[in-house]
Amino acid sequence: MHLVQPELPRFDLEAVRALLGDDLAIDSLDLLQVVLDCESVFGIVVPEREVDRIRSVADLIHVVAKYLWERDRPEPFGHPLGVAA
């Protein structure tokens, strides 16, 4: 008996490097909608200053991952490490 392995989707590393404006024609309003959708789906809040820094797909992934990490690992007592109250 031979088991058939399902084919996994291929991940194109070049797509991660794509620039949102130049390569994908995503303008600032489109980016804002993408970020709002990510916030809704993942239950995160991305500050506007972070949105302004997103230039590529990799940047977007990094920002979403950063806020997912912070959402799932809140600092004890609400203070970052090394910061006095």
Question: How does pLDDT run across 53-79, given as a tens digit for each residue?
Answer: 999 999 999 999 999 999 998 776 655
CATH number for the domain spanning 36: value is 1.10.1200.10
The answer as to whether 47 is a domain residue is: yes
Give per-residue pLDDT as tens, 5-26. Answer: 667 666 677 788 899 999 999 9
Domain of residue 62, residue span: 19-73
Instruction: Please state, in angstroms and as integers, the Cα–Cα distance from residue 61 to each residue in 14, 18, 43, 85, following that order.
Output: 14, 12, 15, 32
Is residue 38 pLDDT above 60, yes or no? yes
The answer as to whether 3 is a domain residue is: no
The answer as to whether 45 is a domain residue is: yes
pTM attached to this predicted model: 0.72
The answer as to whether 33 is a domain residue is: yes
Q: What is the pLDDT of residue 16?
A: 86
Give the residue with greater pLDDT, 12 vs 31: 31
